[in-house]
Amino acid sequence: MTRLLLLLLPALLASIAHAEPYVQRADVRTFIQDMHERHGFDADALDTLFRQTKPIAAVIKAIMPPKDPAVRSWQAYRGRFVEPRRITAGRRFMHAYAAELAAAEARFGVPAEIIAAVIGVETIYGKQLGRFGTFAALTTLAFDYPPRAELFRKELEELLLLAREENRSPLSYTGSYAGALGLPQFLPSSRRRFAIDFDQNGHIDLAASAGDAIGSVGNFLAEHGWERDAPIAVTVTVTGDGVRTLLDEGIVPRLTPMQMEVANAGIQKLGDGDTAIPDRPAALIDLVTPNAATEYRLGYRNFYVITRYNRSSFYAAAVMDLAATLRISK
Tens-digit pLDDT string for the chain (330 aa):
455 555 556 666 566 655 689 999 999 999 999 999 999 999 999 999 999 999 999 999 999 877 665 568 999 999 999 999 999 999 999 999 999 999 999 999 999 999 999 999 999 999 999 999 999 999 999 999 999 999 999 999 999 999 999 999 999 999 999 999 999 999 999 999 999 999 999 999 999 999 999 999 999 999 999 999 999 999 988 887 778 888 999 999 998 877 777 666 677 765 444 455 678 899 999 999 999 999 999 999 999 999 999 999 999 999 999 999 998 765
Contact 159, 41 (CB under 8 A): no
- 35 vs 17: CA distance, rounded Å: 27
Q: Note if 223 is an active site residue.
A: no
- Catalytic-labelled residue, pool 100, 105, 113, 122: 122
Amino acid in position 46: L
DSSP codes of every residue in 83-143:
SHHHHHHHHHHHHHTHHHHHHHHHHH---HHHHHHHHHHHHTTTT----EEHHHHHHHHHH
According to DSSP, residue 152 is labeled H
DSSP assignment letter at 202: S
Burial of 282 (0-12, 13-18, 19+ CB in 10 A): buried
Amino acid 16: pLDDT: 65
- What pLDDT is recorded for position 292? 94
